Structure 1
Amino acid sequence: MTIVDAHQHFWNLETGSYPWLTPASGPIFRTFEPAELLPQLAAAGVERTVLVQAMDSYADTDAMLAQADVHDIIGAVVGWVPLWRPDEAAEALERYRRHPKFAGVRHLVHDEPDPDWVLQDSVIEGLRFLAAAGLPFDVVAVLPRHLEHVPVLAERVPGLRMVIDHLAKPPIKEKGWEPWASLLARAAEYPQVYAKVSGLNTAADAATWTADDLRPYVEHALESFGPQRLMFGSDWPVALLAGDYAKVWRETGAVLSGLPEDGRAAVLGGTATRFYGMEEPG
């Protein structure tokens, strides 16, 4: 079984611009680079990672691809192109696709003033270029409205594969359920839609969360998507807001421990390897 962390980040505050990162971000308001993560991946037995954009900029994407050139453990990069400028996006995709590890696109839709930003005709056209390139879209879903968009996108761009980051941030801390549960199940009705079991610790009580807090939400995702459309991610270093890499790995593993071996293998690596078109470790 190849273990894949399907969602992690790096950023350098001296060389890159990340306006959302401020002193209020606490322990993650600093530079995070591969040297800090590599021993933690080794301790967990992770053999590949998916490095995901942390800013809507070419500079961030270029920096990630440069890191992927140096570190074999980075198996795929989810970058950024200006989807609302579809002609420019098409040109950027043509350029980035030449890199063997460029494997998808994400946009920080939750930072857009318009909660329906992704449904603009220009963005839809950009997503059609993405689908035509055979590349998937990582969906940031923070508000219920963001999750409502997934079936709409699935209908309007049927060839687009999507993955919902962080299970759309279920209301774990509040022990809430709806409308999250129904909206996630609705999105899962489309076979081209996947989801990441990631970022759940920062949706829970930062000080006290355990596998038991995550379990009902992960089980609902398993019922909705099945393990073949779910993938584990650490969301490091954002995860440091509520624990550390080792705890995320340990507690997620506890939640998944009841799955059959093939199901665990899918969530912990197989799904991400297929979805992002990664090569198996040599």
Structure 2
Amino acid sequence: MAVVDAHQHFWNLETGSYPWLTPESGPIFRTFEPEELLPQLAAAGVDRTVLVQSMDSAADTGAMLAQADAYDVVGAVVGWVPLTRPEAAAGALERYRRHPKFAGIRHLIHDEPDPDWLLQDTVIEGLRLLAAADLPFDVVAVLPRHLEHVPVLAERVPGLRMVIDHLAKPPIREKGWEPWASLLARAAACPGVYAKVSGLNTAAAPDWTGEDLRPYVEHAVELFGPDRLMFGSDWPVATLAGDYARVWRETRAALSGLDEAGKAQVLGGTATRFYRIGEMAA
């Protein structure tokens, strides 16, 4: 079974526009391209990655699809379409779906001033296009309010497959628990909802280890099971609190309670099925 990193990014500050990325972002305020990641993937034994959008723009999606063409290690691309403009979104989806590695959609909802952005009628209409095309939606659940929306969307958009990025950023640094734990449980009760064990190191204290992550990861395993969880590095954002090797090593430590079959699902099997990696190209 292939090992898959289900959440990583590339960006080029010379050719792309990323308003959220500023000098205040520190060490990630620079260009990150495939050549820098490839040796780190090889060292960890990662076979494929899921390249996820970094900006709500067609230009970013086009750049990612070009990188997927150039690098076999990119097994799937999660891009962007204008969900608030369903007609334009439908046209974009029709074009993107011709690419064998186009595998899903995300929107930077945490950058929207309206915390209820996802529940707009036009967005719901756009999400129904995804459901009809059997394309999943990555949910950036940073606020508790974002996580509250997941079961609402599951009800309003039947058939929409969703994945919660970064386990909705549990309060690891504060050693907190609620309301995160209960809200995640409500989301997990929807069978079409999955989650990524990713981005946890940047929610923890600087001296974090797998033991800091373990209670939150084990709660997710209990709720979703390994068949609905997938590992992601969140590289290069992860470099704000460690390197790729550390994230890989300590995430596996946090998953040590799983048997080998369960680990294999979280470390590759789930992402391969969810994003259908290799299916269209086969």
Asked if Structure 1 and Structure 2 have the same fold, meaning a TM-score greater than 0.5 normalized by the shorter chain, the answer is: yes
Moved >3 Å (runs of 4+): none
Residue by residue, what CA displacement relative to the aligned partner does 1:204-260 show, whole Å, maximum 9, x if unpaired?
01x210011000000000000000000000000000110110000000011112211
| Residue 278, structure 1, aligned to residue 280, structure 2 | no
Query: Take 1:96 and 1:211, find their aligned partners in 2: how far apart are those partners?
Result: 38
Partner of 1:181: 181
- 1:1-282 to 2 correspondence within 5 Å? 1-205=1-205, 207-279=206-278
1:117 Cα offset (Å): 0.3
Query: Take 2:253 and 2:110, find their aligned partners in 1: how far apart are those partners?
Result: 30
- The alignment's C-alpha RMSD in Å is 1.0
Amino acid at match of 1:98: R
Query: Take 1:211 and 1:268, find their aligned partners in 2: how far apart are those partners?
Result: 15
| TM-score when normalising by structure 1 | 0.98
| TM-score when normalising by structure 2 | 0.98
Amino acid at match of 1:164: I
1:279 Cα offset (Å): 1.5
1:158 Cα offset (Å): 1.2
- Unaligned residue ranges in structure 1 (runs of 5+): none
Q: Percent identity?
A: 83
Query: Take 1:48 and 1:265, find their aligned partners in 2: how far apart are those partners?
Result: 14
Query: Take 2:51 and 2:231, find their aligned partners in 1: how far apart are those partners?
Result: 13
Amino acid at match of 2:251: T
Residue by residue, what CA displacement relative to the aligned partner does 1:149-170 show, whole Å, maximum 9, x if unpaired?
0000000001100000000000
Amino acid at match of 1:102: F
- Unaligned residue ranges in structure 2 (runs of 5+): none
Query: Take 2:70 and 2:149, find their aligned partners in 1: how far apart are those partners?
Result: 37
Amino acid at match of 1:159: G
Amino acid at match of 2:49: T
